[in-house]
Structure 1
Amino acid sequence: MAYSTDSVSLDFDALFLPPPTEYIIPTYHGYVSVAVYGDPEKPALITYPDLALNHVSCFQGLLFCPEACSLLLHNFCIYHISPPGHESGAAAIDPDYPILSVDDLADQIAEVLNFFGLGAVMCMGVTAGAYILTLFAMKYRQRVLGLILVSPLCKEPSWTEWFCNKVMSNLLYFYGVCGVVKEILLKRYFRKEIRGGTQLKESDIVKACRKSLDERQSLNVWRFLEAINGRPDISEGLRKLNCRSLIFVGDMSPFHSEALHITSKLDRRFSALVEVQSCGSLVTEEQPNAMLIPMEYFLMGYGLYRPTNLSVSPRSPLSPSCISPELYSPESMGLKLKPIKTRISMRV
């Protein structure tokens, strides 16, 4: 039986962010936690976080950015899906329960949409979460209107990543979320300058993330890591996607080359790459302001605007227009957009 609770761990009122309604949803592959923000009558935005993160530690920076928050909540009801056992206060998953594959995780998303009675949705994922949502878009093409991917993955792990993940997997299994595991994960998320060191002070963002990692159940993280480390290469299926894609990646992300590879495989008429300077993988936390303008112009292609431009109803179903917007970036934000223009042929 699914249940919901109104809960909040941060002072959302001070930031004009409404508290979520949290659901635990039964699926064929186990229970999934979903935190829902906003008006369910609006179009749906589905999010999926990176390894060892949940919606609070992966997306709060973006939603605490007032303009980005107003853009998203004005147009969407946001459904934050956590990987199994990654929600705050989660219990350890029964060790006898089978480890899910990436296909199982993608199928869970379809069951979540069915639970809420959702049709086609917008998707936003970060790294491992971006892979799961991309795979979901390939398997359920009619249910995805657009993809916003942050430092995404699409290839099978390189030998370097595979070995690093295996080391982390063994540490998680035998020692839990220990200091070494935290350092590996923080290196995955953030650039060196804000992680701190002998000469540099650790930033508040990293401190908050480090604290959130203490709350994770190590074996639950281990299960998600095992799924991601066993992922197949889905590169060849990218060109067959029939939705638009907006990709963000920090130029200091360890997955920067992977984002470039994904962009090379996607149909350039329907996709754009945003490289964020002086940023690691977790752009949603490290430089959320850099995402605002590209997202705004991306969503204009669906007839969606910030509250200051109410020429369309945010409650109307998403229906992509014939011409996608030109994506650009002011020099002051230090962004590079590739390609500069993403246009779709006019259809009568």
Structure 2
Amino acid sequence: MAADNAKNGDALPHVDTHREKRIISTSNCGNLTVHIQGSLQHGNAKPVFLTVHDMGSNHAEFCKFLDHPSMLDVKERSVFVHVDLPGQEDYAPDLPEDFLFPDMRTIGHGLMEVIDALSIPYVIGLGEGAGANILARFGMDYPQRSLGLILIHCTSTVAGVMEYFRDKLINWKLSNVGMNPTAEQYLVFHKFGRQLERSENKEKVINEYQHKLRSTINPKNLRRYVETFLNRTDLSEVLESQLKTDVMLVAGSLASHLHTVRTMANHLNKTKSTLVLIDGVGDVLNEAPEKFAHNLVLYVQGLGKLSSLPVTGSWNARSRTTSQSSDAQDAEAGRHRSRAMSMEEYDIPNVRRLSLAKKD
């Protein structure tokens, strides 16, 4: 959209110089809509991020994050490939009744077909919620094509009893009456987390999200995605042995499924994983874009990319990080880190890779 306005002569800040939409046919996921920001001609020189969205959203969520001023330099030095899952695009028509919505692992295979079609040698996965779970499976099946994974609010477990019945209720309502207050309230809770009544400055972003759910997301198609996520298989016991890719887990301290993120962290290979906890937020992308951007840059620099990009942080709130990591990654990221954090609230290994906080 920004590119179209630029062609019409409208002056817009931070307009992308290259944005492209493609429809890519896959074996078991149907046609996937892919939005590319940046030029793939520079795919070998620049980091390529592959994004997968959560339930109730699509690529626009990541585009909004990339438009934040703290991501301007990263956007200019990178390529972003955003994948919309089947039927999740804005104003999408109903999926055919005989279309079999793929399971989480099959979608991961579809992602492989996308990067093959685009001749991309390897990617850094960036996913949120259900999309993060899909990317974890992609990383397990295709470690040679995954340089690293940035997983926001990712779970490795199956749906718990309460989640199962709650999701079944939401799923039924989406199927029978379209978007409705009950389904909408659950999706808001899923995205923005706990203690909404105590949150400040959330009303605007929540209203925007509700408007998108009511006006642009097809509820029948969304039901298919919810059902797939509800029927996910457990990854916990195989993560340490089968997920060889470097992983950064990210969660807000008020996230709706924080306990499942911590469970996943405890099952990852501690030499190749990092957990970043951002205080006081439930929705990392909308409530803490600058903090997350800072974390992202540090992590990507640890992978050997964006090494010339300066890292800054001007926030007052504290984010906390725990992990174990390889010496090479520590050396790459060490020149940017300070060591100021407290971990008394968390039962995760107290071995620090990066500190992403400023001393009070």
Which TM-score band (shorter chain)? 0.7 to 0.9
Tell me the residue number matched to 2:240. Answer: 239
Match of 2:58 among 54, 58, 61: 54
- Counterparts in 2 of 1:7 and 1:277: CA distance versus 1, 3 Å: same
- Counterparts in 2 of 1:202 and 1:293: CA distance versus 1, 3 Å: closer
Amino acid at match of 1:95: E
C-alpha displacement of 1:223:
0.8
Tell me the residue number matched to 2:292. Answer: 291
Bigger drift between 86-95 and 122-131 goes to 86-95
- SS of 1:79's equivalent in the other structure is strand
- Counterparts in 2 of 1:228 and 1:8: CA distance versus 1, 3 Å: farther
C-alpha displacement of 1:284:
1.1
Tell me the residue number matched to 1:213. Answer: 213
Q: What percentage of aligned pairs have identical amino acids?
A: 22
Hey, what's the Cα distance between the residues in 2 that align with 1:154 and 1:174? Answer: 29
Tell me the residue number matched to 2:83. Answer: 81
For the Cα contact (< 8 Å) 1:171–1:178, is it kept in 2?
yes
Bigger drift between 102-111 and 162-171 goes to 102-111
- SS of 1:145's equivalent in the other structure is strand
C-alpha displacement of 1:61:
4.2
Amino acid at match of 2:47: P
- SS of 1:32's equivalent in the other structure is strand
- SS of 1:122's equivalent in the other structure is strand
Amino acid at match of 1:114: D
Hey, what's the Cα distance between the residues in 1 that align with 2:91 and 2:210? Answer: 16
Does residue 68 (structure 1) correspond to residue 71 (structure 2)? The answer is yes
Hey, what's the Cα distance between the residues in 2 that align with 1:12 and 1:260? Answer: 44
For the Cα contact (< 8 Å) 1:21–1:35, is it kept in 2?
yes
For the Cα contact (< 8 Å) 1:100–1:223, is it kept in 2?
no
Match of 1:45 among 49, 59, 66: 49
Bigger drift between 19-28 and 176-185 goes to 19-28
- SS of 1:129's equivalent in the other structure is helix
Hey, what's the Cα distance between the residues in 2 that align with 1:237 and 1:7? Answer: 46
Tell me the residue number matched to 1:323. Answer: 329
Hey, what's the Cα distance between the residues in 1 that align with 2:253 and 2:119? Answer: 38
For the Cα contact (< 8 Å) 2:265–2:275, is it kept in 1?
yes
C-alpha displacement of 1:294:
1.8
Hey, what's the Cα distance between the residues in 2 that align with 1:172 and 1:12? Answer: 40
- Counterparts in 2 of 1:182 and 1:328: CA distance versus 1, 3 Å: farther
Hey, what's the Cα distance between the residues in 1 that align with 2:5 and 2:160? Answer: 39
Hey, what's the Cα distance between the residues in 2 that align with 1:308 and 1:124? Answer: 19
C-alpha displacement of 1:303:
2.6
Hey, what's the Cα distance between the residues in 2 that align with 1:277 and 1:31? Answer: 39
Amino acid at match of 1:156: V
| Residue correspondence of structure 1 range 8-47 to structure 2 within 5 A | 13-18=12-17, 20-29=19-28, 30-40=30-40, 41=42, 42-47=46-51
**1:237-271 deviation per Cα after TM superposition (whole angstroms, max 9, x unaligned):** 21132221111101111211111111111122211
TM value normalised by structure 2: 0.81
- Counterparts in 2 of 1:33 and 1:8: CA distance versus 1, 3 Å: farther
- Counterparts in 2 of 1:305 and 1:140: CA distance versus 1, 3 Å: closer
Amino acid at match of 1:289: E
- SS of 1:171's equivalent in the other structure is helix
For structure 1, the 5+ residue unaligned runs are: 1-5, 310-319, 343-348
Which of structure 1's runs of 4+ aligned residues deviate more than 2 A? 6-9, 11-20, 199-202, 302-309, 320-332, 336-339
Amino acid at match of 1:171: K
Hey, what's the Cα distance between the residues in 2 that align with 1:12 and 1:212? Answer: 26
- Counterparts in 2 of 1:121 and 1:228: CA distance versus 1, 3 Å: same
Amino acid at match of 1:270: K
C-alpha displacement of 1:125:
0.5
For structure 2, the 5+ residue unaligned runs are: 311-325, 355-360
Does residue 203 (structure 1) correspond to residue 207 (structure 2)? The answer is no
Total equivalences in the alignment:
322
Match of 2:113 among 101, 111, 124: 111
Hey, what's the Cα distance between the residues in 2 that align with 1:108 and 1:242? Answer: 20
Tell me the residue number matched to 1:346. Answer: none
For the Cα contact (< 8 Å) 1:182–1:210, is it kept in 2?
yes
TM value normalised by structure 1: 0.83
Q: Greater RCO between the two (CA within 8 Å, min separation 6)?
A: 1
